[in-house]
A and B are shown apart, each in its own frame.
Chain A
Amino acid sequence: MTKLATIDHLTQTFDGTDVLKGITTNINEGDVIGVLGLNGAGKSTLIETLLGFIPAQQGDIKLFGESPLNMSLESKSKIGYVAQEDELLPNLTGHQYLSLLSGYYADWNKEVCDKLINDWQVDANKRISKLSVGQRQKLSIIASMAYNPQLLVLDEPVASLDPVARREFLQTIAGIACEPTNAVVFSTHIVTDLERVASRLWMIKDGELIFDTYIDELADQVSVIEFDGAISLPKLPGELSRKHPLGNTRICVQGYNQSLAQHIDANASVKHQRIPVSLEDLMLEIHA
């Protein structure tokens, strides 16, 4: 698998707060990476640093083998981006905006544009400033996909879309992901959307990349161990969280295996039960 991007020990500090803490990961061809985390976790900062909008304070980033702060035109033309904030130009109409962008891309596909405008019912003859938030978001997504970028980065792309548009958008993303040389990175709060299309998960908590795993490996990697009653047990290796709902004990652990099971049985007074976790469960276990 070819790496489209590598992030090596990336740290960002703003106003004395560590917004990103030593993140190391990569983006491979064929990845559809869902970036999950609460507000303020560092998702947008990670994406903006990855694309070179904010210089990395520590660590190294390579995007198509180049520094994102000084990318060649060829590399730039391989990247599609939908910003969390509205990056459209409000004085132009939708068609004008797309026409402006089309001048910068050799591979601009007007047919794809027109099809998406039609399918998503975007009124591209209206001035962008007059469009609703959802319409603007759709236009922004269309503008990012019209030149078939190899790496599509979307920062909270579905936040302003209605459920129908959200489903259509996810189908489109799935279509892009079918291309084995492409990759998609999108941040979201909506776990179900991520489960629907993502092949890989980046979970960020307080600036740390606490999970970087393929979704289908998640069930093997993370488990919830449940005990009847409140038990006293020393902190387990790979323990992510511990809770006591309804007087019982739930421990979320990473890397459950035979030796850990034996370790638990040796130390706990009652038998444990291993419960596989869904992505939503994992999100709640860690953040709630």
Chain B
Amino acid sequence: MIRFDLVWRSMNNGSTLSMLIALIVIGSGLILISIFTQDHEQTLRVGGTIGALMLATHTIFLPLTAGRVLANPKLQLAPQAQPSIRLCVLALVVLNAIVWPVIGVAVFKLNYPFIVLLTACWLSMITLALIAVAAPKNTFGIVMYFSSVGIIPSLLLPWLLTLPINLLVGLSSLLLVIAIAYCLITDSRYSNANLLRSRQLLNPSSTKNFRWVERLFDYSPSDTFDNDDKRNYAMLSMQNSGPESKLMATMLLGVPAAIVLIHFIVLIFKPEESLNRVPLLAIVPALCGIYGAIIAPLVDNARRMHLRIDGDRNKLFTLIDKLVFTKVVKWLLAAGVMVLTLIALLPNISFTLLDSAKIYATVMFIYIAATYIALYIFSATARGPKRYVVGTLLYIPLMFGVFWLAKIAPQADFIVLASTCAAATFTAIIFRKLARKVFANKALLYVSPKTVHL
């Protein structure tokens, strides 16, 4: 008998847990805010919005993990496994199609912007369902992954633009918190331990330097491995690290980049909005952005390419290892982001100490410059970050397209809006596919001899 419950569970890669944790933390904060401010209506609205966004985040991760389960070699060979997984993906789609309207009715009383949002999400979900049914097995996970990560935030924009800017920025930051929490929970221990193992096995003299890091990962290197084992294990570790590092890099880089763009565009379209709280909030995506722009590609780069690195550059990687490969640093960052976001969401608190617009623009400029400089530098030495450059660059025209859509939304016909959303979805998928062709990116599925030289 096919165990659909286990198929579902295998698809649910820790995101439910992280979502629940975040819901409890944020819910507690909102209750406190509600008690102190006595502004129950506003709190309800904020809470509902956060809940909706968290569900949206959840729907990003479930198709992603579903894609990975479907691409699992063991399940590709198991008779009937593919249909059962696809059935679970479709169940996920149906579930989301039900959950969204319920939230809409309960929290937003189904007003016009929410209908736009709902339609967009439905279209996105239907697209995912089509991909689930029709895509070739090896490309399924990749296509689904990029389409879902890129599109859902875009589709939220028409509705986001109707919100006050403070709330918008706060919500964007919250989205980041969720993304980072997810990455921290699912990625750090696994990927860092892998990297350390590879590094230590191939270069035993480096082991001494990492003793204190080892303890954080409950890792002890094997004494029984011979040289062949070590090389093989290192290769295996790097292969395994692919999807996680991709997830981490995209979440930490792609999402902040998208949010920065949102901020810019909102500033252009709604300059009359109060910017009192923006400076503080801007620190949130800036911190995440710097982390995502510099650290994530480095981690990815190091993981894939450290065998080819020598001399001074190796020292740089070692330094970065020491700086960031600790749970403490990551959790501090996440906790800081969470606290800043909650503070920023508190109503009736004004931050007038800073010249808000100038600082905001400066932070964003630094962020974007850091992002692209880091990416271009490291794209010269590794294949990995090139993909993120392409992904981010492709994302920009898509975002502008959606903003244009948002601008015309109040006047546009409903059918026009819906079909434009669908077109944007498919355009993104095609762009990603083209990018893959251009860069011959097959590294998700195997490590070619050209990629790794042992």
Scan residues 397-454 of chain B and give those whose CB is less than 8 A from a CB of chain A.
Answer: 440, 442, 445-446, 448-450, 452-454
Contact between A81 and B79, CB atoms less than 8 A apart = no
Most buried by A among B1, B69, B76: B76
Chain A nearest CB: distance from B307 CB in Å? 11
Which of these, B12, B73, B224, B446, contacts A45 with CB under 8 Å? B446
Chain B residues with CB under 8 A of A97: 6
User: Cα distance A42–B73 when bound, in Å?
Assistant: 18
Q: Which residues of B contact A84 (CB under 8 A)?
A: 235-236, 239
Q: Main secondary structure on chain A at its contact with chain B?
A: loop
A14 engages B448 (CB within 8 Å):
yes
Q: Cβ of A44 and Cβ of B446 under 8 Å apart?
A: yes
- Within 23-80 of B, Cβ neighbours of A (below 8 Å) are at 69, 72-74, 76-80
- The distance from the CB of A134 to the nearest CB of chain B, in whole angstroms, is 8
Which of B100-108, B118-126, B225-233, B285-293 contacts its partner?
B225-233
- CB-based contact A54/B445 at 8 Å: yes
How far is the CB of B194 from the nearest CB of chain A, in Å?
10
B236 pairs with A91, CB closer than 8 A: no
Q: Nearest A residue to B65 by beta-carbon distance? A: A91
Chain B residues in 8 Å Cβ range of A133: 233
Q: Does B7 contact A (CB under 8 A)?
A: yes
User: Chain B residue with minimal CB distance to A137?
Assistant: B236
Taking CB as reference atom, which chain A residue is nearest B1? A103
Known: A81-B77, A92-B10, A105-B78. A14 touches B442 (CB 8 A): yes
Place the interface of chain A in its size category: 35 or more
B77 touches A89 (CB 8 A): no
| B96 close to A (CB within 8 Å) | no
Give bound CA distance, A42 to B233, whole Å.
17
- Of B10, B76, B190, B440, which contacts A89 at CB under 8 A? B10
| B6 close to A99 (CB less than 8 A) | yes
A96–B190 Cα distance when bound, in Å, is 21
* Chain A hits for B74, CB < 8 A: 81, 83, 87-88, 101, 140, 143-144
Determine the residue in chain B with the shortest Cβ distance to A106.
B79
CB–CB B72/A91 < 8 A: no
Q: Cβ of A217 < 8 Å from any Cβ of B? A: no
For B208, list chain A residues within 8 Å (CB): none
> In the complex, A97 Cα to B7 Cα: how many Å?
9
B127 within 8 A of A: no
Give Cα distance in the complex from A197 to B238, angstroms: 29
Would you call A159 and B13 a contact (CB within 8 A)?
Answer: no
Q: Any chain A CB within 8 A of the CB of B9?
A: yes
A31 at the interface (CB under 8 A from B): no
Q: Is residue A48 contacting chain B, with contact meaning CB distance below 8 A?
A: yes
Contact of B81 with A by CB under 8 A? yes
A96→B446 CA distance, assembly (Å): 27
Is B358 close to A, CB under 8 A? no
Q: Are B236 and A85 in contact (CB under 8 A)?
A: yes
How far apart are A234's CB and chain B's nearest CB, in angstroms? Answer: 33
- In chain B, residues 224-261, which have Cβ atoms closer than 8 Å to a Cβ of chain A? 224, 228-229, 231-233, 235-236, 239-240
B3 at interface by CB-CB < 8 Å:
yes
Choose among A14, A39, A48, A85 the residue that contacts B454 (Cβ–Cβ < 8 A): A39
> Cβ of A190: which chain B residues have Cβ within 8 Å of it?
228
- A76 near B78 with CB under 8 A, answer yes
A32 within 8 A of B: no
Question: Of A40, A79, A105, which contacts B449 at CB under 8 A?
Answer: A40
With A53-B73, A73-B80, A129-B190 as known contacts, state yes or no: A156 contacts B236, CB within 8 Å: yes
User: Taking the nearest CB of chain A, how far is it from the CB of B195, in angstroms?
Assistant: 14
Whether A159 contacts B80 in the complex (CB less than 8 A), given A54-B446, A81-B73, comes out as: no
Compute how far the CA of A156 lies from the CA of B229 in the bound complex, rounded to whole angstroms. Answer: 10
Contact A156 B73 (CB under 8 A): no
Cβ contacts A28-58/B at 8 Å (1 or 0 each): 0000000000011010110010011110000
If A91-B9, A91-B12 touch, whether A40 touches B79 (CB-CB below 8 Å) is: no
Known: A14-B448, A87-B72, A160-B236. A40 touches B10 (CB 8 A): no
The answer to whether B449 touches A19 (Cβ under 8 A) is: yes
Query: Do residues B232 and A100 form an inter-chain contact, with CB atoms below 8 A?
Result: no
A-facing residues in B75-124 (Cβ within 8 Å)? 76-81, 84
Known A17-B450, A76-B77, A104-B79; contact A90-B13, beta-carbon cutoff 8 A: yes
Contact of A76 with B79 in the complex, beta carbons under 8 Å: yes
Decide yes or no whether B14 CB sits under 8 A from chain A.
yes
* Chain B: minimal CB distance from A164 (Å): 10
Whether a CB of chain B sits under 8 angstroms from the CB of A15 is: yes
Q: CA of A185 to CA of B236 in the docked complex: distance in angstroms?
A: 19
In the complex, whether B138 has a CB less than 8 A from a CB of chain A is yes
**CB proximity of A194 to chain B, nearest CB, Å:** 12
Interface residues as binary, B200-236 with A (CB distance below 8 Å gives 1, 0 otherwise): 0000000000000000000000101000110111011
**With A and B bound together, what is the CA distance between A190 and B229 in angstroms?**
9
Min C-beta distance of A261 to chain B, whole Å: 35
Contact indicator A104/B80 (Cβ below 8 Å) = yes
CB of B332 within 8 A of chain A?
no
A86 contacts B by Cβ under 8 Å: yes
Which residues on the B side are within 8 Å of A51 (C-beta)? 73, 77
Q: Are B72 and A53 in contact (CB under 8 A)?
A: no
A77 within 8 A of B: yes
Known: A17-B448, A73-B79, A96-B6. 16 other contacts (CB 8 A): A40-B454, A76-B79, A83-B73, A83-B74, A86-B240, A87-B74, A89-B10, A103-B1, A103-B2, A104-B78, A104-B80, A105-B78, A140-B74, A144-B74, A156-B232, A162-B222
Contact sample, A vs B, 12 pairs, CB 8 Å cutoff: A14-B450, A15-B442, A15-B448, A40-B452, A76-B78, A87-B74, A91-B12, A96-B9, A103-B3, A144-B74, A162-B222, A163-B224
Closest 3 CB pairs of A and B: A40-B449, A73-B79, A189-B228
